[in-house]
Chains A and B, each alone.
Chain A
Amino acid sequence: MIEGIGVTKVFRHGRSDVVAVDDVHLNVIPGEFVLIYGRSGSGKSTLLGMLGGLINPTSGVIRVNGLDIGNLSDAMISEVRAKEIGFVFQFSGHIPTVTVLENVMLPMLFYRDGPGSLSRAVELIRRVGLSDRADAYPCTLSSGEMKRVAIARALINSPPILIADEPTGDLDIDTEYEIMQLFQQLNSEGMTFVMVTHNLDLVPFGTRTYRMDRGKMMEIPRPLPGVTMTKEPNTHLDHDAGTAMNEL
């Protein structure tokens, strides 16, 4: 579904080069929930941007459903983004000028023949628990509600892949758990997830977990040695487990 071979991204800062992502190899198969863990600045968001076709890699190949998205024209990569990938970003990512319902329906403008429809938008809003806020403007919503709007919007065109960049970064633990439950539910229905986080607590939600550090990515074997994880809210990995993760 998503394949990365030797993916590297180098940013130029003044006269020096910064390697944000360094020779990453990744193969996400349909129905997986891939979690990429790492500290801030480790390169995980850059990698996610490249996997979603928002950033071109400096070198390496990224294929989405067999298409080398690094070599596509703007029109074609836009089509891939419209049809194949839903994005949920760390920040709320709403369009402030239109209502919740219109926010959810916005991607339909860019994929005219897609499965998106008013009834599907209404259904998605219901599914994320915002039926009574469909006509509200984003500025009246809480952070958690805005995140739900972003999720409903990412799903409107029924993309097979959902890419989430720290989707729960600014949420309280209860809301974070609800969002993750929703993701898990969607994953169980067949949607493929690639999500990055710096929150160790979310590791158990992934079917495969990677850790990024200074642009390098390595897979974390499951289960972590000597660590028992739970998906209950307000439950955190103990210090040893965190240390173990960081050591990997």
Chain B
Amino acid sequence: MNYLTYLLAGIRNKAGRNLATAFCFAFIAANIFSGQYLTSGAGGSVDQGVSRMGADHLVVPAQYQVFSRGFGPENTFAVVRAEPSTYRIRADIMATVGSVQGVMKMSPQLYVATLREPALSPSPVEIYGIDPATDFTIQPWLQHPLSTPMSPGEVIVGHEIKGDISSQISLSSHTYTVAGRLDPTQSPIDRTIFLRMDDAYALAATEGIVPSSDPRVSYGDINAVLLQGDPGEGSDLVAARIRRAFSPTYITVISRHFSLDPALQEIKDLPRLLTYISLIVVVAALPLISLIAAMVAHERQREIGLIRSMGAKRHVIISLVFAESLILAATGGIFGVGVSLIAFTLISTQIIDSSALHVSFALPTVADIGMMAGVALLVVITLGSISSIYPAYQSSTISPYDAIRKNG
């Protein structure tokens, strides 16, 4: 016989009522956990979605706009990759572009060639060079983030390119290791292989890669600089500043003319709403659970009087009332979190499987889930503790003799 046996026996004795109490705690825990999970998942999705929207501006050779139809000053497409073009600029313009006020991120891209590689794709494969260290448009589309930065000889492949992660693919006489695969984009990016810039120059120098009719690719050539501007600076203003820094016959700036801000604001309001709902549930549940705890304590007055007559000290009575409440809170909390987690896992899998873009809901990491579960449990345990303060105090201060006789 120990305290736990005694407590559990008491809980078992009133199984229905205690199940109802534990269910209250489960409901609260599930509510808090779900709120956090949805907030985190939605936030992750938004972050991922925003990061996949690519660049705000494209700095390209002046002839690019003529070459590339569809992109104009009022472009509304997401800019993830520059169009294939043999018009090139020198990479040293990046020093000037980078010094322009309002430029937050920039990364170069080089179109090398379009190759027929039936072993890799039934359609022609486009080869690009990127700088993995500064790239902010391609890597957000990775199915899984790279475990280590892209090394020489490693490539990122579009969704339709054959080859598993870590497998080797050959382009001409060069062999590369597939480091990452992109999610489908429903665009030519799905049939693109991205090399490190050094590897791209080496491949471009290989005989037969760049058609003899095209200008040769020299070391330091790039096709475009992709830019992300400071949200605080006007998009047009940043583009104008860049244009002013160069001759209009050398480069031009193509800007994206749509904003995610309104949608983002609405999405940012969602966590606040979920937090309010959780708070309302907690506030509404507190008196209910306190009432149940007070009823339980009142009902057990005789029992408490009896064990006081056996020598139980006040702190033992307080501990017993608290412990019972904590057992119910923890049990309910774990159940609520568990059920929510299972439900979310099933729902999330369903959403991802049916999503065209595979980015519908960003699953929180195991560490995040652990943190959320911990917060939910902490809240219900705190709630259980608060709700049992008065019953515990009342039980410990009641006269044992009165308790025994009144209920005898």
Contacts and interface: CB of A to CB of B under 8 A. Distances in A.
Nearest to A121: B1
Contacts of A96: 13
Interface in B373-408: 399-401, 404-405, 408
Contact of A54 (B2, B303, B399): B399
A91 interface: yes
A211 interface: no
B241 interface: no
Contacts of A97: 6, 9-10, 12-13
Interface string A129-160: 00000000000000000000000010001000
A93 B309 CA distance: 11
B309 A109 contact: no
A110 B399 contact: no
A164 interface: no
A74 B318 CA distance: 13
B309 to A, nearest CB: 5
Interface stretch (A24-32, A36-44, A80-88): A80-88
A95 B306 contact: yes
Nearest to A94: B306
A210 interface: no
B358 interface: no
B312 interface: yes
Contacts of A45: 405
A102 B5 contact: yes
Contacts of A21: none
Contact of B303 (A78, A87, A89, A95): A95
A70 interface: no
Interface in A177-208: none
Contact of A111 (B311, B314, B399): B311
A212 interface: no
Given A49-B401, A52-B309, A82-B311, A106 B1 contact: yes
A244 interface: no
Given A102-B1, A105-B1, A110-B316, A89 B307 contact: no
Contacts of A102: 1, 5-6, 9
A213 B10 CA distance: 40
A90 interface: yes
B310 A54 contact: no
B13 A107 contact: no
B311 A83 contact: yes
Contacts of B408: 89-91, 93
Contacts of B67: none
B315 to A, nearest CB: 8
Nearest to B1: A105
A93 B306 contact: yes
A227 interface: no
Contacts of A18: none
Nearest to B303: A95
B308 interface: yes
A111 B404 CA distance: 21
Contacts of A107: 310-311
Contact of A55 (B12, B307, B401): B401
A98 B12 CA distance: 10
Closest 9 CB pairs of A and B: A82-B311, A110-B311, A54-B401, A97-B13, A97-B9, A49-B401, A107-B310, A91-B408, A105-B1
Given A82-B310, A95-B6, 17 more contacts: A54-B308, A78-B311, A81-B310, A87-B309, A89-B306, A89-B309, A89-B408, A91-B404, A95-B303, A95-B307, A96-B13, A97-B12, A102-B5, A105-B1, A107-B310, A109-B1, A110-B307
Interface of A: 45, 49, 52, 54-55, 74-75, 78-79, 81-83, 87, 89-91, 93, 95-98, 102, 105-111, 153, 157
29 contacts: A45-B405, A54-B308, A55-B401, A74-B313, A75-B314, A78-B311, A79-B313, A82-B310, A82-B311, A87-B310, A89-B306, A89-B404, A89-B408, A90-B408, A93-B404, A96-B13, A97-B10, A97-B12, A98-B5, A98-B6, A102-B5, A106-B6, A106-B310, A107-B311, A109-B1, A109-B2, A109-B3, A110-B307, A157-B311
